Amino acid sequence: MRTWIESKALLLVLGMLIFLILIPHLFTFSSYLLHILIMTFYFSYLSSCWNLLGGIAGQHSMGHSAFVGLGAYSSTFFLLKVGLNPWIGMLLGGMVAALAGLFIGYLSFRYRLRGLYFLLVTIAFAEILYILFSNIRSLGGASGLVVPLKEEGLINFQFSSKVTYYYIILAMLTFVILFTYLISRKRLGYYLIAIRENEEAARAVGIRVIDYKLLVTTISAFLSALGGTFYAQYTYFIDPSTALGIGLSVEILIYPIVGGVGTVFGPAIGAFTLYPLAEFIRGILGAKTTGAHLMVYGVILIVIMIFAPGGITGLFNDMFLVKDRRQK
Partner 1 sequence: MALLEIQDLAKSFGGLSAVKDLSFSVDDGEIVGIIGPNGAGKTTTFNLITGFTVPDEGSIFFRNQLICGKYPEEICRRGIFRTFQSAQSFPNLTVKENVLIAAMLHQPSLRLASEEAEKILAKMGMIEKQGIKTKYLTIPEKKRLELTKGLATHPKIMLLDEVMAGLLPMEIDQSVQIISQLRAEGITFVVIEHVMKVIMSISDRVIVLDHGEKIAEGTPKEVSTMSNVIEAYLGGDILFAQD
Residues near partner 1 (CB under 8 A) are 185-187, 190-191, 193-194, 197-198, 200-210, 324, 326-328
Between 121 and 207, name the residue whose CB sits nearer to partner 1. Answer: 207
Minimum distance from residue 8 beta carbon to partner 1 (Å): 21
**Residue with Cβ nearer partner 1 (209 or 253):** 209
Task: Kindly state the smallest distance separating residue 290's Cβ from partner 1, in Å.
Answer: 44
Q: How far is the CB of 211 from partner 1 (least distance, A)?
A: 9
Q: How far is the CB of 199 from partner 1 (least distance, A)?
A: 10
Cα distances (Å, whole numbers) of residue 33 to 4, 16, 29: 36, 18, 6
Bridge partner list, 238: 145
Residue from 118, 86, 132 nearest 245 by CA: 132
- C-beta of 188 vs 301, nearer to partner 1: 188
C-alpha closest to that of 169 among 160, 157, 180, 181: 157
Q: In whole angstroms, how large is the CA radius of gyration of the chain?
A: 20
Q: Which is nearer to partner 1, 191 or 230 (CB)?
A: 191
- Least distance (Å) from partner 1 to the CB of residue 3? 15
Nearest to partner 1 of 288, 326 (CB atom): 326
Query: Do 82 and 97 meet the contact criterion of CB atoms below 8 Å apart?
Result: no
Q: How far is the CB of 241 from partner 1 (least distance, A)?
A: 38
Residue 58 C-beta: closest distance to partner 1, Å: 11
Output the smallest distance, CB 267 to partner 1, in A: 19
In the bound state with partner 1, the residue whose beta carbon lies nearer, of 102 and 188, is: 188
Give 127 or 199: the residue with its C-beta nearer to partner 1: 199
- Can you tell me the distance from the alpha carbon of 194 to that of 207, in angstroms, rounded to the nearest whole number? 9
| Nearer to partner 1 (CB atom), residue 110 or residue 136 | 110
Please, what is the minimum distance in Å from the beta carbon of residue 210 to partner 1?
8
Q: SS3 sequence, the chain?
A: CHHHHHHHHHHHHHHHHHHHHHHHHHCCCCHHHHHHHHHHHHHHHHHHHHHHHHHHCCCCCCCHHHHHHHHHHHHHHHHHHHCCCHHHHHHHHHHHHHHHHHHHHHHHHHCCCCCHHHHHHHHHHHHHHHHHHHHCHHHCHHHCEECCCCCCECCCCECCCHHHHHHHHHHHHHHHHHHHHHHHCCHHHHHHHHHHHCHHHHHHCCCCHHHHHHHHHHHHHHHHHHHHHHHHHHHCEECHHHHHCHHHHHHHHHHHHHHCCCCCCHHHHHHHHHHHHHHHHHHHHCCCCCCHHHHHHHHHHHHHHHHCCCHHHHHHHHHHCCCCCCCC
Q: Which is nearer to partner 1, 43 or 191 (CB)?
A: 191
